Structure 1
Amino acid sequence: MTQTGARTQRGGGGRLLSWLLLAIVSSLVFAVFAVSPPKRVDDVLYDVLARSNGRVPDASILIVDIDDRSLAELGAWPWSRDVHGAMVDRLNAAGAKTIVYDVLFSQPSPDPAHDRALGEAIARSGKVYLPQFLQDAGANAPPRVVGSTQEIAHGAAGVGLAHVRFDDDGVVRRMAPFEANGPALSPDLMTVVHRATRAPGDRDPTRSLDQTLLIPFAGPPSIYRHVSFASVLEGEVPPSLIAGRTVFVGLTAPGLGPAFPTPVTPDAASMTGVQLQASILDGLRSGLMVKPAGPWGRVAFSLTLLWLLMVGFLVLPPRANLVLTIGLCLLGLAYSAAMFWLGHFWLSPITTVIGLKLAALVWGWMQLGRVNDLLGRELARVRGIVRGRSAPARETAKEFAKEFESDVVARQALDLGEAITRIDDLRRFSADALFSLPDATLVADARGRVIAANAAAQTLFRPSQAVLHGASLADLINTLEPLGRRFELDWPQETERHEPIDLHLPDGRAYQLQTVFRTNEVGVGAGWIVRLADISILTAAMRQREQALQLLTHDMRSPQTSILALLATTPGVPPELSERMSAYAKRTLALADGFVQLARAEVTPVSLEPVDLSDVAIEAIDEVWPQSAQRKIKIQQVGDDMPLMVMGDRGVLARTLVNLLGNAVKYSPEGSTITVTLSEEPSPNGPTANVAIADQGPGFSREEAATAFRPFERFERPGHDFATNGVGLGLAFVHAAVARHGGEVSCRSEPGVGAEFTVRLPRYGLSVEPASALSGRL
């Protein structure tokens, strides 16, 4: 195995190994905290849900308060047992369905008759339930059950433990249907009452396997109906308020009996024992007792959310993992609340939510470390690029990419490296292209300060000993001392179009100055590219061309004109010689005129404007009318009933049609017809305006038609002498003029049936104006 392959296996395997290690450790921690959760943290959310879970209390529950009024009217506590007996009789006579007397009579009273009176009242009623309490029996001994005396309790309908379960924070949230009493189980008082009074077929939560049940408090202690002990005893409470109800009798006066903090009582001591017992019985009867989740349920819940998060770590990018973490935390909270409110099942999500956040934080730290390593390598590549040593760093990045190609974050960092590679390649390509240009090229920033120059530019400015880097473009160009030009400091301006500027230097050299302003992707100026193209040879050639045209237009025309004048005025010249000399002179003049027209058509700028091609055709027909009339040739125009607009130079287009019509008249037989057809037709580049000139002359062969537009191309035809055959520049002018207008010209002919020349120009005014794009080149 190669070294790179070994590193690839180590890198990819190391990443998966770190993920698997985090998954295993997190799963173990989640399982431990699910089995033994930190109750204080869980209880905070439970209390919030319990307070928000308001419901209608059991209307059949009535609490008889041993309150301050009762103490004031009946004397200090404890009262005589016969007073309690009178209360039992009063409640029994009023029709109470069940009486829960939450008072412990564990010691005989000084007067046994009073105990007998109470016991007899309880026995007569047959529906009184009395409490028992667990009392600590000392070290290494099980607690002892303490209840009312036998003389009082022998006639009770049932007895049970009134034992209060406190959570670690001292708040009462749960009850145990049964309490351990040595090897036996003693039922809770509310378990006894509920089982004895529930309707057949009703659900009994006390028969489940749960050791404890969470109390679904309906609200604060005042939510149940209360009456004073003294008012009942004195007959102030109507029997209808007592009849058919479960009546709790207990201590509610402040300081008289114990009080317990609960989730629905914000202060530390506001719910008395009798109120707590009433809340428990209400929960048992309504079937809303909340079952706490078992350890396996908590483990399954925590690990499910954890592994959903761990899978996301492998396949999702960091932002998506953040959303996933928040979503799973909210899902855990929502699921727990829904189970509490709808299923009466308590599954605390707090430890799971905290664990998910910690797992995401640890994974984020690990990813940050990996990204830091990747970016460190890429920064090393950038430094290498700046120093010109990018190749080794690039190879290192490629090897590193193989190691982490399956990691989302790593792929993003590697994309950065790839972008750096492309930037480096583009920088090298741009630099190579710039420095390989034969013309002097400068690159400047948006302020016009030079930041780069190729070798040709350095050679150009070396004689002036100008410092290129950081120099102003205007100052730099001024050092060349161009004739008749001086550039201001604010040159060049930020405009979209910059026309080329010809610079003529004192030593005879000529340069064409071209500037291009570049912007970035948001339209802000980025800088300038300035090119100084050496046009010295081109300028000299143009000068020679002008001189040649001058020679043709003046120096060659003048002698020929003089020859014609002498032949016309000199007597005695033989007619045959005079005619032949005149033909040569006219031919030379035609050759000079044709050459000048062709040269001007090829290079002379023309002025473009909207032109009606129908009008131009009429002008051309009028111009050749004398020649056609002399030979009795009819010229008819077809399709001139509506304007046919093009962008062009009217004079050049007229000369083009005149040349075509002149050739048609020249080669057409006498009495024939020449047809000028104007039409419009579609094309892939837009509609075209067409002028077709068809004659009835001798025509061309296919080979002749293919070469008809070449300069100096002439075709001998029977019946046409040396003078009328032309010089072969008329059709060349037509081709050059039409091409300068963005059009095309074609020839269709067969020998003996005539020829048809068609000029096609871009139509103006219907769609895109293709000819307008040529205005800068005409």
Structure 2
Amino acid sequence: MRWLAMLLLGIALLLGWTDGRGRLESAAIDQLASLNGRPAPDDILIVAIDEPSLAALGRWPWRRTVHAALLDRLAQAGVRGVGLDVILSEPDREHPQDDALLAEAMRAGPPVVLPVIMAMGPSGAPQAAGPVPVLAASAKALGHIHVELDADGVARSVFLKEGGPGRWWDHFALALLGVAGQSPSAADLPGQRRPPKAGSGWLRDHWMQIPYAGPPGHFRSVSYVDVLEGRVPAAMLRGQLALVGATAVGLGDAYPTPMASHDALMPGVEVSANVADSLRQGLTLRRAESWENAAVAVLMTGLLLLGLRRLSPWQGLCLVVAAMAATAGLTWLALRLAGVQLSPLPLLGALALVYPLWSWRRLEAARLQEALRREQEAVWRFIAHDMRAPQSAIVALVRRWRASGEALDGELMSRVEAHAQRSLTLADDHVQLARARHGGAQEPLDLRDVVADAVDQQWPLAEAQSVRLTCELPDDEAVVRGDRALLVRALVNLLSNALRFTPEGGTVRCALSPQGQDWEMRVSDEGPGVPPELRPRLFQPFAQAMAVANEPDRAAVQAASGAGLGLVFVRTVAERHGGRADLDSGPRTSADLGAAFFIRLPRA
């Protein structure tokens, strides 16, 4: 399971790091943002150029004396500042005196902020388009009214600073707070910094994600015509920051926002109201960095994996659902408490992958365990079956001895010992074969140590049989990846066979040498060799390298010559290590006497 856990953590890391903020991801973030509203402030008021105002005052645009009269009303009521979100970049040629009257009303009343927009100049380069000079000179400040649209057309951010070389303009909302004495200091100005690009004609800085307070219409609003005609109580206007702008459909700019769909657009003047309110309260909102999304994804995935290790499939499914709910809650808390927009879909996607992949791996592990259990049961059945013969022979010999009433003799004890030894050998060989098929750690090791260890184990047997045992090792390391215990046991099997069939005074040679991209361990003896008819089935279970059919006590001879699994074990170990084991059937010396077996393993 470890590799699957690492894979899932890697997927979580990748999904979190490569968040591209597509439409679906942005929509998910917007859903969370819609849960993060707040009450509208009681000192920001929108004076709406709405449908009733158009019906009462006539078609747009109105004469600028109308705006002058509105400013007079606001001044009498004691508003703190006015943001007049009306484009006044062209002089009124039909009523040239109106510009002067509006300028006078601006100078006499509360501080007024007028908008600046970006326009294309005669040369094709962007440039600022502000109010006509007489109005720009009378305004307390100028501010740009641009709203940044994402790829899906939703207004989620603004740049608090925009302009051209040598001149910057605050955002309209920031400029309004400035004239009212409520602007944050330059050092505390939020937003992501945007270094100017070489050759850029229009510069932007302090990219701010807007913490919207609510959907369209959330801020307090009064009709332009009601203020103009005195139907709004002065107490309702006193001390307010008044934002004058169009809300009538088709009259001004309106945008879809995270708090509204395309069917409920938010007027640009209300977007400015949201910006002003969040700046004044010090509310910040930023998109999470890639490393933050990745860290949360890896953390949640890791915790989920830890829980799944100890739970049933049904409990695991419940845990996944709970983890996904907790992730959504964590994303909302990060937005609510820290103003950080984590990307929920990569996090939820990583968690959604965990359960099916983990369940698949568990099913695979269960299937393998069941196969292993069945094979182990088969091994034990084979052991029980194969051990019946020697055990039955022991019982028969004991019963015959009891029936005869004779004293124990050496021949009887030798036969009992032979049968008992065969039983032990059978059991040990079966267990070792099962381990060779399913066990074994793969780690770097030096085959010189394996050969030396196997030769040391067989040295006493060679001495007892008066057989010379030689060992030939290279000077350089012979590194492979494998299980040392299994390889030593395989080589001991070959050596024990060679010693068994080598006559007294003969020699058994064990050599390690390079063979192309492999290392070869070779064991050769000076015994009678392997008959040609036995070679095709030499590595099959229970095939013996010597004829026993004509022996008077076949069981005793089999006990002496092995249980028939030794070479099967050797080949199984070699194949498990990516190599092979076989009998060297090439030309032999010494009158073609003896046999040579080898194990070849790939170099590490």
Task: Give the alignment's TM-score, normalised by structure 2.
Answer: 0.56
- Map Cα deviations across residues 592-651 of structure 1 (whole Å, 9 max, x no partner): xxxxxxxxxxxxxxxxxxxxxxxxxxxxxxxxxxxxxxxxxxxxxxxxxxxxxxxxxxxx
- The yes-or-no answer on 1:32 pairing with 2:14 is no
The letter of the residue matching 1:26 is I
- The yes-or-no answer on 1:125 pairing with 2:120 is no
Instruction: Classify the secondary structure of the residue corresponding to 1:218.
Output: coil
Matches within 5 A, 1:450-489: none
| Match of residue 766 from structure 1 | none
**59, 65, 78: which one aligns with 2:48:** 65
Distance 1:48 1:29 in 2: 24
**148, 161, 174: which one aligns with 1:165:** 148
- The yes-or-no answer on 1:246 pairing with 2:241 is yes
- Map Cα deviations across residues 483-519 of structure 1 (whole Å, 9 max, x no partner): xxxxxxxxxxxxxxxxxxxxxxxxxxxxxxxxxxxxx
| Match of residue 278 from structure 1 | 273
Displacement after TM superposition at 1:205 (Å) = 5.9
Q: Decide whether aligned partners of structure 1 residues 401 and 336 sit closer, same or farther in structure 2, where only a CA change above 3 A counts.
A: same
Q: Is the 8 A contact 1:126 1:156 kept in 2?
A: no
Q: Is the 8 A contact 1:51 1:219 kept in 2?
A: yes
Q: Is the 8 A contact 1:98 1:247 kept in 2?
A: yes
- Map Cα deviations across residues 642-687 of structure 1 (whole Å, 9 max, x no partner): xxxxxxxxxxxxxxxxxxxxxxxxxxxxxxxxxxxxxxxxxxxxxx
The letter of the residue matching 1:165 is E
**184, 189, 203: which one aligns with 1:206:** 189
Matches within 5 A, 1:306-705: 306-309=301-304, 316=310, 319=313, 322=317, 325-380=320-375, 398-399=435-436, 402=439
| Match of residue 234 from structure 1 | 229
**95, 100, 103: which one aligns with 1:116:** 100
| Match of residue 79 from structure 1 | 62
Q: Is the 8 A contact 1:176 1:212 kept in 2?
A: yes
Distance 2:168 2:312 in 1: 55
Matches within 5 A, 1:213-232: 213-232=208-227
- The yes-or-no answer on 1:48 pairing with 2:31 is yes
Q: Is the 8 A contact 1:26 1:359 kept in 2?
A: no
Instruction: Classify the secondary structure of the residue corresponding to 1:176.
Output: strand
Q: Decide whether aligned partners of structure 1 residues 136 and 377 sit closer, same or farther in structure 2, where only a CA change above 3 A counts.
A: farther
Distance 2:329 2:13 in 1: 24
Displacement after TM superposition at 1:117 (Å) = 1.4
Task: Give the alignment's TM-score, normalised by structure 1.
Answer: 0.45
Q: Decide whether aligned partners of structure 1 residues 85 and 401 sit closer, same or farther in structure 2, where only a CA change above 3 A counts.
A: same
Displacement after TM superposition at 1:97 (Å) = 0.6
Q: Is the 8 A contact 1:70 1:229 kept in 2?
A: yes
Q: Is the 8 A contact 2:77 2:238 kept in 1?
A: yes
Distance 2:11 2:139 in 1: 56
The letter of the residue matching 2:244 is V
Displacement after TM superposition at 1:162 (Å) = 0.6
Greater mean deviation of Cα atoms: 347-356 or 216-225: 216-225
The letter of the residue matching 2:111 is K
Distance 1:219 1:161 in 2: 23
Distance 2:111 2:385 in 1: 99
**134, 146, 151: which one aligns with 2:118:** 134
Q: Is the 8 A contact 1:213 1:290 kept in 2?
A: yes
Displacement after TM superposition at 1:223 (Å) = 2.6
Instruction: Classify the secondary structure of the residue corresponding to 2:326.
Output: helix
- Map Cα deviations across residues 127-162 of structure 1 (whole Å, 9 max, x no partner): 1011112235699x6532222111211111111111
Distance 1:133 1:353 in 2: 41
Q: Which runs of 5+ in 2 are unaligned?
A: 194-205, 387-426, 443-604
Q: Is the 8 A contact 1:179 1:185 kept in 2?
A: yes
What percentage of residue pairs aligned between the two structures are identical? 29
Instruction: Classify the secondary structure of the residue corresponding to 2:46.
Output: strand
Matches within 5 A, 1:174-213: 174-179=157-162, 181=164, 186-199=169-182, 206-207=189-190, 209=192, 211-213=206-208
| Match of residue 90 from structure 2 | 107
Q: Is the 8 A contact 2:216 2:264 kept in 1?
A: no
| Match of residue 763 from structure 1 | none
Q: What's the Cα RMSD here? A: 3.6
- The yes-or-no answer on 1:292 pairing with 2:287 is yes
The letter of the residue matching 1:118 is L
- Map Cα deviations across residues 272-316 of structure 1 (whole Å, 9 max, x no partner): 111221122122223334233233333332333344445567x54
Q: Decide whether aligned partners of structure 1 residues 254 and 380 sit closer, same or farther in structure 2, where only a CA change above 3 A counts.
A: same
Q: Is the 8 A contact 1:94 1:240 kept in 2?
A: yes
Q: Decide whether aligned partners of structure 1 residues 243 and 377 sit closer, same or farther in structure 2, where only a CA change above 3 A counts.
A: same
- Map Cα deviations across residues 558-582 of structure 1 (whole Å, 9 max, x no partner): xxxxxxxxxxxxxxxxxxxxxxxxx
The letter of the residue matching 2:100 is R
Displacement after TM superposition at 1:383 (Å) = 7.1
Q: Is the 8 A contact 1:339 1:347 kept in 2?
A: yes
- Map Cα deviations across residues 309-328 of structure 1 (whole Å, 9 max, x no partner): 45567x54564755554444
The alignment of Structure 1 onto Structure 2 pairs a total of residues equal to: 386
Q: Decide whether aligned partners of structure 1 residues 381 and 155 sit closer, same or farther in structure 2, where only a CA change above 3 A counts.
A: same
Instruction: Classify the secondary structure of the residue corresponding to 1:212.
Output: strand
Q: Which runs of 5+ in 1 are unaligned?
A: 1-14, 406-778
Distance 1:61 1:262 in 2: 20
Max Rg structure: 1
Distance 1:291 1:41 in 2: 18
- Map Cα deviations across residues 234-262 of structure 1 (whole Å, 9 max, x no partner): 22222222111011111111221222112
Distance 2:257 2:65 in 1: 34
- Map Cα deviations across residues 67-116 of structure 1 (whole Å, 9 max, x no partner): 22222222111111121122112211221111011111111111321112
Q: Is the 8 A contact 2:5 2:305 kept in 1?
A: no
Distance 2:255 2:130 in 1: 21
Displacement after TM superposition at 1:386 (Å) = 8.7
The letter of the residue matching 2:189 is T
Distance 1:217 1:205 in 2: 20
Distance 2:254 2:85 in 1: 13
Distance 1:207 1:54 in 2: 20
| Match of residue 610 from structure 1 | none
- The yes-or-no answer on 1:96 pairing with 2:79 is yes
Q: Is the 8 A contact 2:50 2:247 kept in 1?
A: yes
Distance 2:268 2:46 in 1: 11
Which gives a bigger RCO, structure 1 or 2 (Cα 8 Å, sep 6+)?
2
- Map Cα deviations across residues 35-76 of structure 1 (whole Å, 9 max, x no partner): x33343333333223333342211111111112222222211
Distance 1:212 1:126 in 2: 30
Displacement after TM superposition at 1:181 (Å) = 4.3
Distance 1:324 1:309 in 2: 7
Displacement after TM superposition at 1:382 (Å) = 6.0
Q: Is the 8 A contact 1:378 1:397 kept in 2?
A: no
Q: Is the 8 A contact 1:173 1:215 kept in 2?
A: yes
Q: Decide whether aligned partners of structure 1 residues 295 and 25 sit closer, same or farther in structure 2, where only a CA change above 3 A counts.
A: closer
